């Protein structure tokens, strides 16, 4: 029963009595419970800036839209209506219609779903691979660490979006391949964070104590090392989500993301660009959505960082 | 006090802005008698070299007709008209064609245009022109003989009626042998011709400037002015982005641009200072079926899916009218097109689609999808990322969905699409061809081209034999009958559902007068003059 014996170091941010929380759902649960009832209530409140609340608000709206897209969209997003071609915004079509008479509002709403799903998937891929490799390198060290770190340096040397373009061009553009390519590109960030934190935690006495108690590697990693920097991981994941949303839009914009008629925001923007002079709403609304959503997620990420990792 | 002084300066500033913006004079130069002036045309991508026999590109084909002359040209009605050749004879057996050149013609380097130059041009072509689209036509020339200074004879192993298509293409421009030798010595990329304009300067990535050829007096009868062009300078400005080109056109920085986006076409229709010239192109956009892959190897399935397509909707929605509804594999601009083929068209008829699918043994399941032996009828529609393919594919997808067939769209880069079709890795294909003669059918649908240009892997021995006969038939009437019969069978077999014939639209500012569109939508500048801008 190592939990009872080991005690957290005094400046430790997260109480390590938390049971292993591997999926994001329970992480957020952890956060929510700790904020109002935890001991450190006042300190954390003090760090919840206005930016955090704006970011959280926008992100909630985006996620809500993505989740309830079928309920929110007034028309099927793929329905072609010859008679409603290139209509400007009106009460019937809040964002207007495109050249095929499809309702842009419905398409933008469904676009949130595609954008969030693809960027969340790519962040999940990055995090999964990055954290696993980071633990391996940081915990076992030696030749493994050496090889993995060199590999990551090579990986990092490539401009990530460019490499993603190459991968998608090779595999063929599709939602899955784009999310995969972007996911691989994000691995280095998670790797470096995990490796660094693992290395520094390993020297802590509570890890030594756990080892002395005979705890296995997996147990040490997930019980004693991971909780130390789970908050940093959440921050990194949130910030990456914004970056990925932008990257997914960028790849779709150049035709390497979703395939038509998928209403991804970047693809909508690319399509709207052709009609910029006669139907500006086709570019304005998807463009504004990308900007606002990415800004919101980044504000949330920054706010979380300030709240969870206050500068000493 | 300070405030008053500031107000004073503000008033002065505003006044000067207003007067400064007022039009103080109209265009100063241009419209003197005898012509003069400059026409500027936008170009999307520049050629890599100026050599008619070099690597083909859209930039090259835009530049060639002004710098080089061909032996003959085609008029809008497809008739063959003289250019460098004043006349020609075809032997009884069709295996010898003798050209008689006009007298006194000079290349831009001062050397004469003679029979030797013609012979040199095609001999060189066989060596260096392997990548040219007309290479296949050029290598069929068995021998070229210089009879006298102005007479040259081409001999063929077999009668070759498509030869006229080959030699009227701009790639078949006659080149100065001296310039080719010089270019080879210097490792240069600029070959000299005898066209109505002379290359003056080429600033890589910016512009290609040509000036009037003052000695020109051998213009073709397709234009009124056979002498030197009226305008003194013709410039291609290289602007890669179509939206930027449009802005430049509207700002008056560019006089002519090629329109390929429906939105630009809609926008310019309301602009009174710009003329829009529309010409039907020799090509076709079609929906193809992989004739070697189940279940699309069955005629009934192909016919059923063809009947699902509403071409009119595609033209209205995806093209905003920038195309003409197609019903035959050959476009109206080519010999071999026959209006009677419209009867054979597999028109929009979703009910018939369903009947045909039932006939093919498919059953509609409870969700409305078609099934046979547990296999769903579905597939992937492959096309390139080129606009407006995405929109056309989306509309086709909705047409198929309407009869209960689920189609996924895959858009790849053009080269990747061609690779996939070469390997037979697709179900349905949205693709196009452009060609100068009815032998397009031989190239794109005969079975010896499967895996290459016959992208849909269509193979029908009867059609093969008809096309082969037509390829060597000299009597025009018999030849066209053979092509007609082949097309009737092709339409029944439905390897292609012809969607629309592309149109080429040139937007020209009003100050350019008398600019005409020639064969294949080419801009003819021999008669063009610069007038005053009507408005502004």
Q: What is the 3 state secondary structure string of B310-351?
A: CHHHHHHHHCCCCEEECCCCCCCCCECECHHHHHHCCCCCHH
Residues in chain A within 8 Å Cβ distance of B266: 278
Domains in chain B, start-ordered, CATH in brackets? 2-255+511-530 (3.40.190.10), 283-502 (3.10.105.10)
- E strand residue ranges, B318-457: 323-325, 363-364, 370-372, 375-376, 378-384, 406-412, 428-434
Instruction: Please name the residues between 436 and 495 in chain B that touch chain A, using a CB distance below 8 Å.
Output: none
Q: Give the C-alpha distances (Å, rounded to integers) separating B187 from B49, B50, B133, B194.
A: 11, 13, 23, 21
Find the mean pLDDT for residues B483-490: 96
CB–CB of A261 and B411 under 8 A?
Answer: no
pLDDT at B15 over 90: no
CB A66 within 8 A of CB A117: yes
Return the structure tokens found at B282.
Answer: 């020799």
Question: d(Cα B435, Cα A172) in Å, to the nearest integer?
Answer: 30
Q: Residue A120 belongs to what H/E stretch?
A: helix A104-135
Beta bridge partners of B429: B288, B382
Q: Give the C-alpha distances (Å, rounded to integers) separating B415 from A256, A273, B294, B452.
A: 15, 25, 25, 13
Rounded to 5°, the CA angle B434-B491-B330 comes to 25
Question: d(Cα B318, Cα A185) in Å, to the nearest integer?
Answer: 36
Q: Which of A177, A266, A277, A279 to mutate to test the interface with B (most CBs of B within 10 A)?
A: A277
Number of Cβ within 10 Å of residue A15's Cβ equals 13
Instruction: Please name the residues between 238 and 257 in chain B that touch chain A, using a CB distance below 8 Å.
Output: 243, 246
As a dihedral over the C-alpha atoms of residue B379, residue B383, residue B385, residue B391, rounded to 10 degrees, the angle is -70
Kindly state whether B335 is in contact with chain A, defined as any CB-CB distance less than 8 angstroms: no
Contacts of B9 (CB under 8 A, 6+ apart): none
Contacts of B247 (CB under 8 A, 6+ apart): none
Find the mean pLDDT for residues A158-164: 87
Q: Which residue of A has its CA nearest to B312?
A: A82
Kindly state whether A273 is in contact with chain B, defined as any CB-CB distance less than 8 angstroms: yes
Find the mean pLDDT for residues A279-308: 93
| Digit-coded pLDDT (tens) for B96-130 | 999 999 999 999 999 999 999 999 999 999 998 88
CB–CB of A99 and B261 under 8 A?
Answer: no
Return the structure tokens found at B442.
Answer: 């031989």
Structure confidence at residue A211 (pLDDT): 87
Q: Which residue of A has its CA nearest to B320?
A: A99
Is residue A111 classed as helix, strand or coil in its secondary structure?
A: helix
Helices A265-274 and A281-308 cross at an angle (nearest 10°) of 150
Burial A160-170 (b: 16+ CB within 10 A, else e): bbebbbebbee
Rounded to a whole number, what is the distance in Å from the CA of A21 to chain B's nearest CA? 39
What's chain B's average pLDDT? 89
| Digit-coded pLDDT (tens) for B382-433 | 999 887 899 999 999 999 999 999 999 999 888 889 999 999 999 999 999 9
- E strand residue ranges, chain A: none
pLDDT at A18 over 90: no
CB A21 within 8 A of CB A30: yes
Return the structure tokens found at A240.
Answer: 């990456």
Q: Which of A100, A170, A271 to mutate to test the interface with B (most CBs of B within 10 A)?
A: A100
pLDDT at B228 over 60: yes
CB–CB of B390 and A271 under 8 A?
Answer: yes
| Digit-coded pLDDT (tens) for A220-268 | 888 888 888 888 899 999 999 999 999 999 999 988 888 889 999 999 9
Residues in chain A within 8 Å Cβ distance of B411: 173, 255, 259-260
User: What confidence tier does B7 reach under pLDDT thresholds 50, 70, 90?
Assistant: low
User: What confidence tier does B16 reach under pLDDT thresholds 50, 70, 90?
Assistant: low
3-state helix, strand, coil in chain B (%, to 5): 35, 25, 40
Return the structure tokens found at A80.
Answer: 């072609």
pLDDT at B299 over 70: yes
Structure confidence at residue A41 (pLDDT): 36
Instruction: Please name the residues between 282 and 321 in chain B that touch chain A, using a CB distance below 8 Å.
Output: 313, 316-318, 320
CB–CB of B390 and A82 under 8 A?
Answer: no
Beta bridge partners of B115: none
β-strands B375-376, B370-372 pairing: antiparallel
Find the mean pLDDT for residues B229-254: 93
Kindly state whether A255 is in contact with chain B, defined as any CB-CB distance less than 8 angstroms: yes
Structure confidence at residue B2 (pLDDT): 56
Phi, psi for residue B21 in degrees, rounded to 5: -80, -15
Return the structure tokens found at A150.
Answer: 């060199």
CB–CB of A259 and B316 under 8 A?
Answer: no
């Amino acid at each position: 029963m190592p939990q009872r014996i080991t005690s957290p170091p005094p400046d430790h941010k997260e109480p390590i009595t938390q049971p292993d929380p591997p999926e994001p759902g329970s992480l957020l649960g952890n956060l929510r419970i700790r904020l109002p009832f935890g001991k450190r209530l006042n300190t954390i409140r003090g760090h919840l800036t206005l930016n955090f609340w704006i970011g959280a608000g926008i992100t909630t709206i985006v996620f809500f839209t993505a989740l309830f897209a079928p309920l929110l969209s007034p028309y099927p997003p793929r329905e072609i209506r010859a008679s409603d071609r290139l209509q400007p915004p009106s009460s019937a079509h809040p964002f207007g219609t495109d050249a095929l008479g499809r309702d842009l509002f419905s398409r933008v709403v469904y676009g949130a779903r595609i954008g969030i799903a693809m960027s969340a998937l790519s962040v999940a891929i990055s995090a999964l691979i990055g954290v696993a490799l980071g633990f391996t390198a940081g915990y076992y060290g030696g030749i493994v660490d050496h090889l993995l770190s060199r590999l990551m340096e090579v990986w990092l040397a490539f401009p990530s979006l460019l490499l993603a373009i190459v991968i998608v061009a090779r595999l063929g553009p599709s939602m899955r391949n784009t999310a995969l390519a972007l996911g691989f590109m994000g691995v280095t960030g998670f790797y470096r964070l995990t490796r660094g934190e693992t290395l520094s935690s390993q020297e802590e006495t509570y890890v030594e104590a756990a080892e002395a108690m005979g705890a296995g590697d997996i147990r040490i990693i997930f019980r004693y090392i991971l909780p130390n920097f789970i908050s940093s991981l959440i921050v990194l994941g949130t910030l990456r989500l914004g970056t990925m949303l932008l990257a997914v839009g960028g790849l779709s914009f150049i035709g390497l993301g979703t395939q038509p008629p998928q209403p991804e925001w970047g693809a909508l923007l690319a399509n709207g660009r052709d009609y910029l002079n006669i139907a500006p709403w086709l570019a304005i609304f998807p463009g504004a959505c990308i900007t606002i959503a990415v800004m919101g997620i980044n504000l949330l990420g920054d706010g979380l960082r300030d709240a969870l990792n206050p500068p000493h | 006090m300070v405030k008053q002084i500031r107000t004073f300066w503000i008033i002065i500033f505003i006044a000067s802005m207003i007067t400064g913006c007022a039009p103080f004079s109209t265009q100063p130069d241009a419209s003197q008698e005898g012509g003069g002036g400059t026409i500027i045309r936008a170009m999307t991508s520049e050629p890599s070299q100026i050599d008619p026999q070099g690597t083909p590109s859209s930039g090259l084909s835009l530049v060639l007709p002004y710098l080089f002359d061909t032996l003959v040209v085609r008029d809008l009605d497809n008739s063959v008209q003289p250019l460098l050749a004043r006349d020609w004879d075809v032997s009884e057996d069709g295996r010898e064609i003798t050209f008689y050149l006009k007298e006194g013609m000079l290349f831009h380097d001062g050397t004469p245009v003679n029979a030797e130059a013609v012979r040199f041009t095609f001999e060189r072509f066989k060596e260096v022109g392997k990548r040219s689209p007309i290479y296949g036509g050029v290598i069929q020339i068995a021998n070229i003989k210089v009879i006298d200074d102005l007479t040259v004879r081409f001999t063929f192993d077999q009668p070759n009626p498509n030869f006229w298509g080959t030699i009227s293409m701009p790639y078949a421009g006659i080149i100065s042998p001296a310039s080719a030798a010089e270019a080879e010595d210097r490792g240069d990329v600029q070959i000299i011709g005898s066209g109505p304009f002379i290359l003056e300067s080429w600033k890589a990535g910016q512009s290609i400037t040509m000036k009037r050829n003052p000695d020109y007096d051998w213009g073709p009868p397709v234009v009124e002015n056979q002498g030197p062009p009226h305008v003194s300078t013709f410039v291609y400005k290289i602007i890669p982005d179509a939206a930027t080109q449009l802005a430049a056109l509207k700002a008056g920085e560019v006089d002519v641009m090629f329109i390929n986006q429906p939105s630009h076409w809609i926008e310019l229709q309301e602009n009174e200072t710009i003329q829009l010239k529309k010409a039907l192109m020799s090509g076709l956009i079609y929906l193809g079926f992989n004739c070697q892959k189940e279940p699309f190897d069955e005629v009934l399935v192909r016919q059923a899916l063809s009947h699902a397509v509403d071409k009119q909707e595609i033209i209205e929605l995806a093209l905003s009218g920038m195309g003409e509804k197609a019903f035959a594999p050959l476009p109206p601009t080519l010999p071999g097109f026959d209006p009677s083929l419209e009867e054979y068209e597999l028109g929009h008829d979703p009910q018939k689609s369903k009947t045909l699918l039932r006939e093919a043994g498919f059953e509609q399941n409870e969700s409305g999808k078609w099934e046979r032996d547990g296999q769903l009828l579905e597939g992937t529609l492959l096309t390139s990322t080129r606009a407006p393919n995405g929109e056309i594919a989306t509309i086709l997808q909705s047409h198929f969905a309407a009869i209960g067939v689920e189609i996924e769209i895959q858009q790849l880069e053009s080269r990747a699409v061609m690779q996939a079709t070469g390997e037979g890795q697709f179900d349905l294909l949205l693709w196009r061809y452009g060609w100068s003669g009815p032998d397009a059918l031989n190239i794109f649908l005969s079975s010896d081209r499967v895996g290459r240009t016959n992208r849909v892997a269509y193979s029908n021995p009867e059609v093969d034999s008809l096309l082969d006969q037509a390829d060597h038939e000299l009597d025009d009437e018999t030849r066209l009958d053979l092509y007609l019969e082949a097309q009737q069978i092709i339409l029944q077999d439905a390897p292609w559902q012809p969607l629309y014939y592309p149109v080429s639209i040139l937007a020209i500012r009003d100050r350019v007068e008398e600019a005409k569109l020639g064969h294949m939508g080419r801009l003819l500048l021999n008669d063009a003059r610069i007038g005053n801008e009507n408005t502004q």
